[in-house]
Amino acid sequence: MSVDRAEGVITRLVESIGGDVTSAAEVTALEPDGSLAPGTFDFAFPDGTTMLF
């Protein structure tokens, strides 16, 4: 895991099992305090989705 010290944001995360990388994610653009469009995080579950919790 890598963290941007100034912002306190995770910028890179790698997961592994038994030494084999199973998942890797890296920030490609970081814009602290950037403006977001109203609906940026709106989400609609697809029809037939079953909620587990």
At 53 the pLDDT is 80
pLDDT digit string, tens, across residues 13-50: 999 999 999 999 999 999 999 999 999 999 999 999 99
Q: Count the domains in the chain.
A: 1
Rg of the chain in Å (alpha carbons): 16
The model's pTM? 0.59
Domain containing residue 24: 1-29
Which phi and psi angles does 2 have, rounded to 5°? -120, 145
Cα dist from 33 to 6, 7, 30, 36, 39, whole Å: 13, 10, 9, 9, 17
Does 48 reside within a domain?
Answer: no
Does 13 reside within a domain?
Answer: yes
Is residue 52 pLDDT above 90, yes or no? no
